[in-house]
Amino acid sequence: MALRMSSLFVRTQKEDPVGAEVASHKLLHRAGYIRRSAPGIYTWLPLGLQVLGKIEAIVREEMARAGSQEVHFPGLLPADPYRKSGRWEAFGPDLFHLQDRKDNDYILAPTHEEVFTLLVKDLYSSYKDLPLSIYQVQTKYRDEARPRAGLLRGREFIMKDAYSFDIDDAGLDASYEAMRVAYLRAFARLGLPCLPVRATPGAMGGSGTEEFIYPSEVGEDTFVRSPGGYAANVEAVTSIVPDAIEYSLSPAARVEDTPDTPTIETLVDAANANHPREDRAWTAADTLKNVVCAITHPDGTREIIVIGLPGDREVDLDRAAGTGMLGNGEVGLEAATAEDLAAHPELVKGYIGPGLSPETQLLGLEGSSKVRFLLDPRVVDGTRWITGANEPGRHVFDLVAGRDFTSDGTIEAAQVVLGDPAPDGSGPLELARGVEIGQIFKLGRKYAESLDLKVLDQNGKATTVTMGSYGLGVTRVMACIAEEYHSETGLLWPQHLAPADVHIIAAGKGEEIAEAAETLTSELESEGVTVLLDDRGKVSPGFKFADAELIGIPTVIVVGRGLADGVVEVRNRLTDEKQDQPVAEVVASTVAAVRTAYATADGAADAAIADAAGGAAGGEVAAVADTSAL
Ligand code: ATP
Ligand code: MG
């Protein structure tokens, strides 16, 4: 049945929603697809549900093609499995929790690894049952600190989450690869350019993981790419570690007075003026900056650590936390507070350093501070530093790593900057912004172990299952499609994702026009083409055109004055073409064009996979939204 503007539950809006920053948020609201219920929580209107349904259908088809079967879990879950996995704590304040009338703890699920694991444990017991891949398209709840940009970051949102279960690592590799292909295919069919980038597992745990990024300025993720096709989330970039340097001839470390040097810049100037280096000038990169940070562990304890890095670099706390180098399950990393520092009077603000020799070392678990001391990987043995002397107004010169001080390990905590050398050796890194639209994980055995998912192997021995987890943000994807496809005046969907295939406007008064629009509508619908018919009697053509532009169905047929001459106007807003067509022909040509558009979008998936296989590993997969057919 055609959607009719005369009765459709929609009221287009002239005003942007309060505080909206991005086009998708503004336009989905103004065109009557969604309404805000509460911060980060949205109600879906009929037009919105049409598009959402099409996106979900494509995702479901690609899951089925990858051999995954659909199930559906409740969103309301008992807390116990999440306690066992440690995520009751690890999710921290992002987790929505509540109690039932008997005071049992429940959560609104932020993601479903635990209960999928338990479901498989409930039903399966043998290696013969594996591999298994199951998924759902389900509502997730996360009390995001900063819900923003409409559907882009909601507190309630729809995710497709899939999980794979295998007996061994080779099986997991194959399951992961099948999902990777499914994602590339799905995003290509959805018309979204996307880039698979290396990522870090964070609180999820596990080994390999990739994020699928839609490159866009509205995104909150920064990723890097190299001329050679390497692409990674900044958290996952690994620094190129220089070789250790021979230090037997390096000068001995010494403490110097350095009054009035509160910043790295003033310190470098004073060093060059008063304590010049023999071979070249000191630079900020020769200073070792020691930054005091605080980790909040899952059990609530607070640990103070010191991160040492070259003074020309800023600390990136997200990167440091995301690397997993701080130990598993940490819940937060932040700059130390005045209170933290007060508890460690030996750390002299502005003049912190490791100490003058391994025997007298201040920093580190072995040192007198007992504060963990982690170093940027570039601080290799033999490198020579100016750093704090742990006394106000004094610095150590020529402190040599490996000779004069050691650490408790390394950490990638330095901000990645434009022009840093790419880990693949192909040249300087370029930085870009994007939106994470999906992420796939080789989880390994973390959840199977904590929830005891074992099956009997070929020898009858109980073996822990290895798992993968694969998330795709369905409602976020819809926002990204709206970002990618809109014009000055409204949304502009790829043909195959529009809420209806054709928007017919009865433009003008008179029985004939109304009747011809009705006839056209039923003829198209009988061919399987869906129609949004603007049959409103008392609305001017100008208003109808404006609404059509806002709503964004790319194929518009205007039944108006031309009818007297036996023609209607067919507009393709994607190509900006307008054409008068004889009424007698318009059904056949429209049906053909719409069918071609759907087929082209499906075909884009094959092209994407061929591209990815053609050596462009990690390269961008250009999505094809068909504009040629109409
Ligand atoms: P982000 O870093 O953006 O917060 P995430 O890494 O926490 O996302 P995952 O746990 O990997 O998200 O969830 C899988 C997918 O679900 C994401 O790739 C994203 O597409 C979607 N998603 C996650 N959080 C949200 C949200 N708040 N609103 C809408 N979609 C989301
Ligand atoms: Mg993610």
The string of pLDDT tens digits covering residues 487-546 is: 999 999 999 999 999 999 999 888 999 999 999 999 999 999 999 999 999 899 999 999
Ligand 1: distance of its center to the CA of 58 in Å? 19
From CA 580, how far away is CA 576, in angstroms rounded?
14
Ligand 2: distance of its center to the CA of 436 in Å? 7
pLDDT reported for residue 402: 93
Q: Is 322 in the pocket of ligand 1 (CB under 6 A)?
A: no
Does 221 lie in the same domain as 104? yes
- Ligand 1 atom closest to 479 (CA): 29
Give the gyration radius of the chain's Cα atoms.
Answer: 30
Q: Which of these, 137, 170, 168, 155, lies nearest to 62 by C-alpha position?
A: 137
Once rounded to an integer, what is the mean pLDDT over residues 22-39? 96
Give the CATH number for residue 122: 3.30.930.10
From CA 561, how far away is CA 21, in angstroms rounded?
40
Selected residue with higher pLDDT from 612 and 14: 14
Does 546 lie in the same domain as 435? no
Does 418 reside within a domain?
no
Q: What is the DSSP letter of 86?
A: T
Does 192 reside within a domain?
yes
pLDDT reported for residue 313: 93
pLDDT reported for residue 404: 94
Nearest CA residue ID for atom 23, ligand 1: 473
pLDDT reported for residue 400: 95
pLDDT reported for residue 205: 62
Q: Is 111 in the pocket of ligand 1 (CB under 6 A)?
A: yes
* Tens digits of residue pLDDT in 100-124: 999 999 999 999 999 999 999 999 9
Does 217 lie in the same domain as 84? yes
Residue count of the chain: 630
Q: Is 379 in the pocket of ligand 1 (CB under 6 A)?
A: no
Does 212 lie in the same domain as 67? yes
Q: Is 148 in the pocket of ligand 1 (CB under 6 A)?
A: no
* Tens digits of residue pLDDT in 316-347: 988 888 776 676 555 678 899 999 899 999 98
Confidence of residue 89 (pLDDT cuts 50, 70, 90): confident
Q: Is 446 in the pocket of ligand 1 (CB under 6 A)?
A: no
Torsion of CA 400, 239, 297, 409, to 10 degrees: -30
Counting ligands in written order, which one lies closest to the CA of residue 143? Answer: 1
DSSP per residue over 135-149, as a string?
EEEEEEE---SS-BT
Ligand 2: distance of its center to the CA of 318 in Å? 13
Q: Is 110 in the pocket of ligand 1 (CB under 6 A)?
A: no
Q: Which of these, 147, 133, 141, lies nearest to 178 by C-alpha position?
A: 133
Nearest CA residue ID for atom 11, ligand 1: 439
pLDDT reported for residue 457: 94
Q: Give 597's strand partners.
A: none
pLDDT reported for residue 449: 92
Selected residue with higher pLDDT from 601 and 499: 499
Share of the chain above pLDDT 70, in %: 95
Whether 238 shows a pLDDT value over 90: the answer reads: no
Whether 628 shows a pLDDT value over 50: the answer reads: no
pLDDT reported for residue 625: 37
User: How many CB atoms are closer than 10 A to CB 577?
Assistant: 11
Look at the block and give the residue holding tokens 């295998």. Answer: 166
Report the sign of the C-alpha dihedral through residues 421, 423, 426, 429, in that order. negative
* Tens digits of residue pLDDT in 563-572: 999 999 999 9
DSSP per residue over 512-561, as a string?
HHHHHHHHHHHHHHHTT--EEEE--TTS-HHHHHHHHHHHT-SEEEEESG
Ligand 2: distance of its center to the CA of 100 in Å? 30
Confidence of residue 154 (pLDDT cuts 50, 70, 90): very high
Ion ligand 2 neighbours, Cβ < 5 Å: 439
How many domains are contained in the chain?
Answer: 3
pLDDT reported for residue 609: 83
pLDDT reported for residue 588: 95
Share of the chain above pLDDT 90, in %: 72
Ligand 2: distance of its center to the CA of 439 in Å? 5
Does 229 lie in the same domain as 265? no
Counting ligands in written order, which one lies closest to the CA of residue 187? Answer: 1
pLDDT reported for residue 248: 87
- From 436, 475, 480, the mutation candidate for ligand 1 (largest count of ligand atoms within 8 A of CB) is 436
pLDDT reported for residue 249: 85
Selected residue with higher pLDDT from 142 and 359: 142
Confidence of residue 549 (pLDDT cuts 50, 70, 90): very high
Whether 84 shows a pLDDT value over 80: the answer reads: yes
Does 276 reside within a domain?
yes
Does 575 lie in the same domain as 506? yes
pLDDT reported for residue 327: 64
Does 193 lie in the same domain as 53? yes
Confidence of residue 208 (pLDDT cuts 50, 70, 90): confident
Q: Which of these, 210, 217, 131, 123, lies nearest to 167 by C-alpha position?
A: 131
Ligand 2: distance of its center to the CA of 204 in Å? 9
Ligand 2: distance of its center to the CA of 261 in Å? 42
Instruction: Indicate the pTM of the whole model.
Output: 0.85
Looking at 382, 400, 418, the residue that finishes a domain is 400
CB 83 within 8 A of CB 109: no
DSSP per residue over 105-140, as a string?
EEEE-S--HHHHHHHHHHH--BGGG-SEEEEEEEEE
From CA 26, how far away is CA 499, in angstroms rounded?
18
pLDDT reported for residue 131: 96
Whether 251 shows a pLDDT value over 70: the answer reads: yes
Does 613 reside within a domain?
no
pLDDT reported for residue 367: 87
Q: Which of these, 421, 82, 386, lies nearest to 238 by C-alpha position?
A: 421
- Mention every residue, 6+ apart, whose C-beta is less than 8 A from residue 181: 66, 609
Does 49 lie in the same domain as 186? yes
Whether 135 shows a pLDDT value over 80: the answer reads: yes
Is the peptide bond prior to 251 cis by the omega test (within 30 degrees of 0)?
no
* Tens digits of residue pLDDT in 377-413: 999 999 999 999 999 999 999 999 999 999 999 999 9
- From 476, 480, 481, 483, the mutation candidate for ligand 1 (largest count of ligand atoms within 8 A of CB) is 476
Q: Which of these, 531, 530, 547, lies nearest to 539 by C-alpha position?
A: 547
For the chain, give the mean pLDDT: 91
Once rounded to an integer, what is the mean pLDDT over residues 25-49? 97
Whether 194 shows a pLDDT value over 60: the answer reads: yes
pLDDT reported for residue 331: 60
Confidence of residue 360 (pLDDT cuts 50, 70, 90): confident
Give the CATH number for residue 564: 3.40.50.800
Once rounded to an integer, what is the mean pLDDT over residues 438-454? 93
Nearest CA residue ID for atom 16, ligand 1: 473
Question: 26-30, 282-286, 370-374, 606-610: which range is least confident on average?
Answer: 606-610
Does 502 reside within a domain?
yes
Question: 21-25, 184-188, 321-325: which range is least confident on average?
Answer: 321-325
Question: 246-250, 455-459, 502-506: which range is least confident on average?
Answer: 246-250
From CA 326, how far away is CA 296, in angstroms rounded?
11
Does 276 lie in the same domain as 132? no
pLDDT reported for residue 100: 96
Does 300 lie in the same domain as 379? yes
Does 90 reside within a domain?
yes
Q: Is 473 in the pocket of ligand 1 (CB under 6 A)?
A: yes
Full residue range of the structural domain in which residue 540 is found: 495-593
Does 218 lie in the same domain as 287? no
Query: Exposed (0-12), middle (13-18) or buried (19+): which is 11, by Cβ within 10 Å?
Result: exposed
Does 119 lie in the same domain as 56? yes
Does 622 reside within a domain?
no
Does 279 reside within a domain?
yes
